[in-house]
Amino acid sequence: MKHLDVSAIKDGSVIDHIESKSTLKVADILNIQNEEQVVLVGMNLTSKFLGKKGIIKIGGKIIDQKEVNKIALIAPNASVNIIKDYEVIKKFKVAVPDIIEGIVKCFNPNCISNYYNTQSKLHVVNKNPIKLQCHYCERIMNAKDLVI
């Protein structure tokens, strides 16, 4: 059996290939402090691809598409592995959608989307690094401006 940097879980989800410095941000949007089962977080692990990477393992939870879309904004290189009986049964890369609705707020405090109960709507103008443009006020937002 091969060696794992962060120990195995029986069933759940592994978010791998997170840019190391974004690991806790991903943990934050996934709300892992509210999970009931084992959660393991590793940071500054060696990665051929990223140099250093972070990894999050969440027991008993199957990550859903909405969460994957959020992860993609913070960690565009991440891959998600679904684990069952200690084996990877499904693996996919996160993907940034072309339009993001209701996940990220517009950064412009005067934007109409921040006034009425309007759902935010942002066009993805660049995926990696992330760059978004508000559908309503056309304000451009970069990774550092994102409020998720």
Ligand X SMILES: Nc1ncnc2c1ncn2[C@@H]1O[C@H](COP(=O)(O)OP(=O)(O)OP(=O)(O)O)[C@@H](O)[C@H]1O
Residues 123-142 that bind Zn ion (CB under 5 A): 134, 136-137, 139
Show the tokens assigned to 117. Answer: 């109960």
81 counts as binding ligand X under rule CB under 6 A:
yes
Dihedral of CA atoms 110, 67, 19, 121 in degrees, nearest 10, equals -30
Interacting positions 105-124 with ligand X (CB under 6 A): none
Q: Binding residue for ligand X (CB under 6 A) from 39, 75, 83, 122?
A: 83
Instruction: Look at the chain and count its residues.
Output: 148
Binding-residue pattern over the window 53 to 72 for ligand X, x denoting contact by CB under 6 A: --x-x---------------
- Asked whether the beta carbons of 136 and 121 are under 8 A apart, the reply is yes
Which residues form the interface with ligand X (CB under 6 A)? 4, 8-9, 14, 16, 55, 57, 79, 81, 83, 86, 88, 91
